[in-house]
Structure 1
Amino acid sequence: MNQKHLLRFIKRAMKKYPKEIVHVERGKGQTLMEVFESMNLTAFDLSVDTLDMHADRNTFHRFDKFNAKYNPIGESILREIFIKTDNYVEGKYFGHIVKEVMSDLEESKYQNVELRLSIYGRSRNEWDKLAKWAVKHQVYSDNVRWLVQVPRLFDVYHTKKQLSNFQEMLENIFMPLFEVTVAPRSHPELHLFLQHVVGFDSVDDESKPEQHIFNLDSPLPSSWTEEDNPPYSYYLYYMYANMTVLNHLRRQRGFHTLVLRPHCGEAGPIHHLVSGFMLSENISHGLLLRKAPVLQYLYYLAQIGIAMSPLSNNSLFLSYHRNPLPEYLSRGLMVSLSTDDPLQFHFTKEPLMEEYSIAAQVWKLSSCDMCELARNSVLMSGFSHKVKSYWLGPHYIKEGQESNDIRRTNVPDIRVAYRYETMCEELNLITQAIRTDELETIEEEGSLWPAGI
């Protein structure tokens, strides 16, 4: 939701449930009215400005300040009450507001979203709690699919003695998924919830310094007990490895599989993008590809999807006019426009329209460019084959011009044909170079034989 929506919801909740106990402080229950009285606030005092959840110039290159913006009026207790699934009221308010967002989407008809929910890996019952919340509040819509994001915070939990090693975190995240795949009745609510989950995301501040380089000498997860946080590539590899085994099992059992789509290349070292290239289905952001032409070329050849959020990047890491999205698009990379967090970066009820309209104005995108971005976003999404066929046409999985149904995508056939021909030429160029190189090697080896042999 955006700020205005959250503000209206908080005011409504204060009017409707003033006497409801929403928080326990030192063993004593606090009602919603008492929580606000302790802050010297009334519903009348609340405004978008006092809520103060919009990213501004102070959040630029300051991920800590960006995270703090999630607290309404700077109070973490309000974040817990209104935008958490696991709290004293069992995520009741958050469930209600998510339902409101869903009904807005269903009303607008032409926007689908992939929302994120967090699993932290601190305890084994997190999945069951999340699934219980989802089923109880029926946070289901044909326009919505869920991605589960795993924050890279092992060092924080380890310092607080919540986890003794990294293996424990991995088991907390993946064991319930293996259990429910083998025996759906062991976690009935989780089985239901997983039908609307399409994959995993890995999130945190990428610009944090990494003390360790992941290599053959790195400790196994069960031996990772040091204070330092494991590096990005370590997190991504072990998520990928567990997901691969899980997906084989799910496929055998006739269930849909999950994909890895991490935040990658927003900041920090370039090698995050190497990990993303090797292990991910798609990535989010990918800003640093502008500094690594070879990697950019690899992402192009493999057509790895890059969901870009220029308005978010503009507030956090890279000013709008320096964003590489138009270059990526013109070179034929698989890019799409995506919102990152409407609560912090957008003002209107239709945040995705904000992204498209600002991009079109600033970069002077043609309607053909806009429709190509929209087509890419459907291809990259985790929605089912049936949904994609509805939006793009029944032959969307074919290659080249055949895949395009201009009546649905509004992308001219000539653009799709050009993309396909260029890709084929590039691949042809590489295979020719390899063949030439092999021939030269054979000739050189032949010339080394003694005469007469």
Structure 2
Amino acid sequence: MTSQSDEFPPPQKRPRILPWSGDGNNRCPKNSLCNSRWPKNNLCSNKCPKDNLCYLDSDQQVTDTPSTIMAFRGAASMVSTTPDRDGTVFAMYPSPGSESPVFGHIEAMMEAEDSPRPNKISAPYEVPQFPIEQIEDKLKLHRQLSAMVERSNVKYEASETAVDDVDVKVSDIDESDYTPRYQRVYISGEETSSYLLDNLITNVPVEDISKSSKLLIEALRLREKYMAWAVQGFPTVTSRFLREAGTEDPSGPVRPSPALCSDPKSLEDHPIHPPLKEGCPFDVDMPEDNGYCFQMVDGLFQIYSSEEDLKQNKPKNYHFPDFTRYIQDHNLMCALIANGPVKSFCYRRLQYLTSKYQLHVLLNEMRELAAQKAVPHRDFYNIRKVDTHIHAASCMNQKHLLRFIKKAVKNHPDEVVCHSQTHGSMTLSQVFASMNLTAYDLSVDMLDVHADRNTFHRFDKFNAKYNPVGESRLREVFLKTDNYLNGKYFGHIIKEVMSDLEESKYQNAELRLSIYGKSQDEWDKLAQWAVQHKVHNENVRWLIQVPRLFDVYKSNNIMESFGALIDNLFRPLFEATINPASHPEIHAFLQYVIGFDSVDDESKPENLALDKDTPTPQFWTDTENPPYAYYLYYMYANMCTLNQLRLDRGLNTLVLRPHCGEAGSIQHLVTGFLLSENISHGLLLRKVPVLQFLYYLAQIGIAMSPLSNNSLFLNYHRNPLPEYLARGLLVSLSSDDPLQFHFTKEPLMEEYSIATQVWKLSQTDMCELARNSVLMSGFEHEIKQFWIGPNYTRDGVAGNDIKRTNVPNIRVAYRHETLLDELTNIFRHPSDKEGN
């Protein structure tokens, strides 16, 4: 016969709960898990193997313990005690049979447990006194506080916080120490390093994978060479892979990388805000004439050390690709993007990047948000952001322009503003009288400068919107730098926009000013306008846009050949570089010019293909406009020589950032890949997977303007920006033309607001876009060090300062590791194939 003790287990002994003695000398009774003393803050100083809580056996007799984990009726229940001000112990005590804690004094609860309760229900649950969400929040806060106290007792531990939180020199920390903890997505298996896995992933035959990789590597080599010749940027990560693959350094001067030529900078030397410059911004050093000479040969400027070298035709060895080589490389790239296996390979890699990002967001979104919340004082509103694509003639909104025109008519009605062949000199009031208008009649609707549904795929109607009230005369008076008043009104309204940017503090812009190339004094007039009216602000830098309008000039007999346009565009720059005293205003103005832009309607048909028989610029006398690739090559080639000359003289260099891929032929994107550091728009990349993948590998900046595209070429919901961002392309938001597309005085914030609402972007996405805009902008390296961190040029997390960018290290690490994976996947195939 079995005894009762053998048949039925003895009843479990309930732990006895005693008030906390408060002397801080009690030890955790579970020595195998935690052998440290209980501190007076009720938190265990040792990290338990579970979730920072010690789990005690149900038969463990507990005495004098401030926090206890009990097993009651087969379920773990927690008692967390805290002494009140009067010494009374307050406990969060889960009731038997329930996971919902009851809050109250511990003595009262013990009495309640011992005394029978009437009408006690028999079900193993009870209605909680507090909402479950509130209880979970309290438990989560308890765990977070435990972790914070534990970390405070450790001198250093790699974490997601900024580097300056640790009392360690930045140079003493290895880059691997910056790696944050987050959930990564890996593809593993026995065949991970073989061609079989790639065949399964990409659905491309093994031999095609090797060929595709070699072609992609060749395309990256081409871009690296073209960037080096023009002294433009190229990502250091991709460059390292090319070096390891046996590619020699490209000939010509390579832009010195701040990440490689200097040690890590200290955070103390770079506060959040850069120091203000004192004095006139156009008071710059004037280098002496170095005695160089130059001349244009076949549309390309050549530099000579002296007059003697000029006579003997011995130009300096400045590197740039000749036109024949450029045509060969351009044709090679066009053949590459049409290669079937390469298209399949790149398409599937892009799909993989999209899916991987979606998994990353599902796994780490809350971690990224928690990292942002842990940063004091920093959020999306007070991180630096740059409007990387905005035109100066339309940088104000329509209400701003209306108020400015009304104020000018009211305050300066008798000022002579223009000269007409029929009316002679005309005052501002006479100009409005000739249109049968008064200042009172003007309204936003009367100005008619805003784009509407009628401008969709009608670039001609969009250009007409630049004329207020449909009158080109008002555009000449208020929106031109070269007019009767030497751009007085335009300078004033630009300075008002600059004042708004300065007031916002964290918004910056890269405004485009036009040089048409119709005469050689255009540069002098533009520079005099900027210097005379002091049109400068530390929140603004300039780009020079060159409209592709040679066919219009030729039809109006303004110039004879395309070579005249190139000569008018670059000759003043070479003169100001060789002898700054010959053009002092141009020399001063160029200190704040960051590059060139090429603008016009890309949807115009191009009937001419480039080949070796294409005429040189001095022989291009046809009324037909040269192709896009022809325009950009001669801008790029002359910019190569100019940049290498300015680099020798210790002056700032310029970059090429054209409008590219908004409409028209996809060959424009090939031209942009070879010649330009960044592009604007890039909508057609969604149709060319090979180029899109190459733009990702080369991290080419793309300034996108969804509201502008929505009115001209592509509906907002079809815009590929969120897709580009998910895949890891270097994209940023820009406003393009606030006068035509925006309503508020903060058009860039308007872009972010609408994009966030329509595409449901997270706070991390918005901050990543803002950081991208600073990275791809033309602001000086020293300024970027203040804005996004002194070590921003370093790869991965080591280059991120979350206290300035508000971008979590998790997101930066994911982007960097994913790029490394894709580059590794490509670069290992040729070597593996040769080894096999």
Alignment length (residue pairs): 440
Q: Displacement, 1:22?
A: 1.0
1:121 and 1:170 in contact (8 A); partners too: yes
Give 2:628's match in structure 1, choosing from 232, 240, 250.
232
* 2:527 corresponds to: 131
* 1:29 corresponds to: 425
1:261 and 1:282 in contact (8 A); partners too: yes
Q: Displacement, 1:391?
A: 1.1
Q: Displacement, 1:424?
A: 0.7
CA displacement 1:391-413 (0-9 Å, x = unmatched): 11011000011011111111111
User: Is 2:488 aligned against 1:71?
Assistant: no
Q: Displacement, 1:304?
A: 0.2
* 1:19 corresponds to: 414
* 1:100 corresponds to: 496
Give 2:828's match in structure 1, choosing from 408, 432, 448.
432
* 2:572 corresponds to: 176
* 1:447 corresponds to: none
In structure 1, how many angstroms separate the alpha carbons of the residues matched to 2:535 and 2:712? 30
5+ unaligned residues in a row in structure 1: which ranges?
441-453
Instruction: Give matches, 1:83-232, under 5 Å.
Output: 83-232=479-628
TM-score (norm 1): 0.96
Give 1:253's match in structure 2, choosing from 646, 649, 664.
649
Moved over 4 A (4+): none
In structure 1, how many angstroms separate the alpha carbons of the residues matched to 2:408 and 2:628? 40
1:211 and 1:228 in contact (8 A); partners too: no
Per chain length, whose mean CA-contact separation is higher, i.e. which structure has more relative contact order (CA < 8 Å, sep 6+)?
A: 2
In structure 2, how many angstroms separate the alpha carbons of the residues matched to 1:26 and 1:125? 23
5+ unaligned residues in a row in structure 2: which ranges?
1-395
* 2:478 corresponds to: 82
Instruction: Give matches, 1:317-356, under 5 Å.
Output: 317-356=713-752
In structure 2, how many angstroms separate the alpha carbons of the residues matched to 1:226 and 1:35? 38
In structure 1, how many angstroms separate the alpha carbons of the residues matched to 2:529 and 2:834? 59
Instruction: Give matches, 1:299-448, under 5 Å.
Output: 299-439=695-835
In structure 2, how many angstroms separate the alpha carbons of the residues matched to 1:214 and 1:90? 40
1:148 and 1:201 in contact (8 A); partners too: yes
Q: Displacement, 1:439?
A: 4.4
2:590 partner amino acid: L
* Secondary structure of the corresponding residue to residue 597 of structure 2: strand
Give 1:8's match in structure 2, choosing from 390, 403, 415.
403
In structure 1, how many angstroms separate the alpha carbons of the residues matched to 2:481 and 2:834? 58
CA displacement 1:126-172 (0-9 Å, x = unmatched): 00000011101100100000000000001110111111111110010
Q: Displacement, 1:214?
A: 1.9
Instruction: Please give the root-mean-square deviation of Cα atoms over the aligned residues, in Å.
Output: 0.8
* 2:637 corresponds to: 241
Q: Displacement, 1:437?
A: 3.9
In structure 1, how many angstroms separate the alpha carbons of the residues matched to 2:738 and 2:535? 19
Give 2:434's match in structure 1, choosing from 38, 42, 66.
38
* Secondary structure of the corresponding residue to residue 778 of structure 2: coil
1:337 and 1:355 in contact (8 A); partners too: yes
CA displacement 1:232-276 (0-9 Å, x = unmatched): 000111111000100000000010100000000000000000000
In structure 1, how many angstroms separate the alpha carbons of the residues matched to 2:437 and 2:681? 38
1:181 partner amino acid: T
Worse-matched range after superposition: 24-33 or 406-415: 24-33
* 2:659 corresponds to: 263
1:400 and 1:420 in contact (8 A); partners too: yes
1:289 and 1:295 in contact (8 A); partners too: yes
In structure 2, how many angstroms separate the alpha carbons of the residues matched to 1:177 and 1:216? 29
* 1:295 corresponds to: 691
Q: Displacement, 1:215?
A: 2.3
* Secondary structure of the corresponding residue to residue 194 of structure 1: helix
Identity of aligned residues (%): 72
In structure 1, how many angstroms separate the alpha carbons of the residues matched to 2:724 and 2:593? 29
1:59 and 1:315 in contact (8 A); partners too: yes
* 2:215 corresponds to: none
Worse-matched range after superposition: 384-393 or 352-361: 384-393
* Secondary structure of the corresponding residue to residue 43 of structure 1: coil
Q: Displacement, 1:218?
A: 1.0
Worse-matched range after superposition: 64-73 or 428-437: 428-437
1:158 and 1:227 in contact (8 A); partners too: yes
* Larger Rg computed on CA atoms: 2
In structure 2, how many angstroms separate the alpha carbons of the residues matched to 1:17 and 1:87? 17
